[in-house]
Structure 1
Amino acid sequence: MVPMHRDDTAARTAAARGWTLVVPLKPLALAKSRLAPAAGSGLRSALALAFAQDTVAAALACAAVEGVVIVTDDPLAEAELAALGARIVPDAPGAGLNAALEHGEAVVRLERPGAPVAALNADLPALRPGELARVLEAARAHRRAFLADAAGVGTTLLAASGGAALAPAFGGASRARHLRSGAAEITLPGVDSVRRDVDTGEDLAAALALGVGPHTLRTSAASPA
């Protein structure tokens, strides 16, 4: 029998462990501009932080997740999300969402080359750990896979395993771009909390109906809407 190379052993061990989630978050002062009509400009950034806090808390409570990496340059978000147990990585590229995701992925893969990595939106305040676990389990059947948002237009999660690159194409009609890139679409029923991102007042109402985490619940109570 030919002995396994040490690097192969490390890669397979990493792949057998849990997922590392990369969560990008723009500066809070710039986040969630489409929420301003419903929440007011003063509450908009607070809601963006609350969404991220509830997303990260739920992700870290998921049995399939080994760790969460936040890519951000916002000092308040850094402090609050690190307190929940997330690892903070500065947005060194400073070139937008997809560049931030690629940077976070590179940091993870530098330490764990074979690790399964998934990009997750920061605005999933109704996220349920069990539903996230089901999505990630389904993703393991593919080298790259994604979950569309509730509208069926965007993407809330993009996963890569087996050493594959994420190759993120988030923003706008990203579902179509991820399909064209060869990523498999995850079509599980009953994972609404993983699909319900929040960009508008209507989205927030839908998330509240699903049941949001404590940070969003507390912050949204102050909203004029």
Structure 2
Amino acid sequence: MDVAVDLVVPVKELRRAKSRLAPAVADLPGDDVDREQAHRALALALARDTLRAARAAGRVGRLVVVTAEPAGRLGAAGEPRELVPDEGGGLNAAVLRGAAHLYRPGARAVAALQADLPALRPEELDDALARASALFAGGVDAAFVADHDGTGTTLLIAAPGRSLWPRFGPGSARAHARSGAVALDGDWPGLRGDVDTAADLARARALGTGPATSAWSDDHAPVADHAPAPGGY
């Protein structure tokens, strides 16, 4: 499979990440410090599984992570990727910083992938990128994948030679469509399965999450809930 796309993955500083996931740790044993540590560990697990799947996708070329976290915290040693410091300004600023790091004359297509997709499969990402490439061949400048409820965006891709203009945030699917990006239609539950709430986490677990999130769930779920989720990898 030909490499087609360079990828930016912004990873928010763990102490500020995933505030809406607080209910997922609210009933855990221990004190507030323990629950805060569990919350950060969950955000880290989501990012690690996303990066693992992205790196395994055949259509991904360079993988740039924009983050304020130390390099060694995000995954296994030896997993190739480039890190760019997150200097603040929010998610869209981080995406633009990563895209600027990648830019060069004759560059491949550039995409931004959300870092909270623990059930993502490499083949889902490959299929979405292939469909985007087909659209680009027909003159489309940008494409995106909406999240599971159709309002957010999990993946944004700009055609080769075109700038990436992210509009992540509430209502981002509509904002990206209004900017001229084309919504990609595909059966990609893992790619669409961003995790913002406890219900989202349960949905991802039902799909089967990557090893980091599965390990977190095993460590923090009630004993009666320790049966492995179907389709895990």
TM-score (norm 1): 0.87
1:51-87 CA deviation, whole Å, 9 max, x = no partner?
Answer: 1111111111111111211000112xx2133633221
Which moved further from structure 2: 41-50 or 56-65?
A: 41-50
Q: What are the ranges of 5 or more consecutive residues in structure 1 without an aligned counterpart?
A: 1-15
Show the counterpart of 1:86. 81
Partner Cα distance (2:23, 2:113) in 1: 26
1:144–1:158 CA contact under 8 A, matched in 2: yes
Partner Cα distance (1:88, 1:81) in 2: 10
Show the counterpart of 2:42. 47
1:4-34 CA deviation, whole Å, 9 max, x = no partner?
Answer: xxxxxxxxxxxx7431110111110110111
Partner Cα distance (2:113, 2:7) in 1: 6
Q: CA deviation at 1:113?
A: 4.2
Match of 1:169, SS state, is coil
Whether 2:204 is the aligned partner of 1:211: answer no
Q: CA deviation at 1:223?
A: 2.5
1:132-158 CA deviation, whole Å, 9 max, x = no partner?
Answer: 100001111132000000011100000
Cα pair distance change 1:97/1:113, threshold 3 Å: farther
Moved over 6 A (4+): none
Q: Which of the numbers 55, 63, 73 marks the counterpart of 1:60? A: 55
TM-score (norm 2): 0.84
Partner Cα distance (2:201, 2:81) in 1: 24
Question: What letter corresponds to residue 35 of structure 1 in structure 2?
Answer: L
Match of 2:98, SS state, is helix
2:46–2:117 CA contact under 8 A, matched in 1: yes
1:92-138 CA deviation, whole Å, 9 max, x = no partner?
Answer: 3x11100110010010014x642111000000000101111000011
**Identical-pair percentage:** 47
2:110–2:160 CA contact under 8 A, matched in 1: no
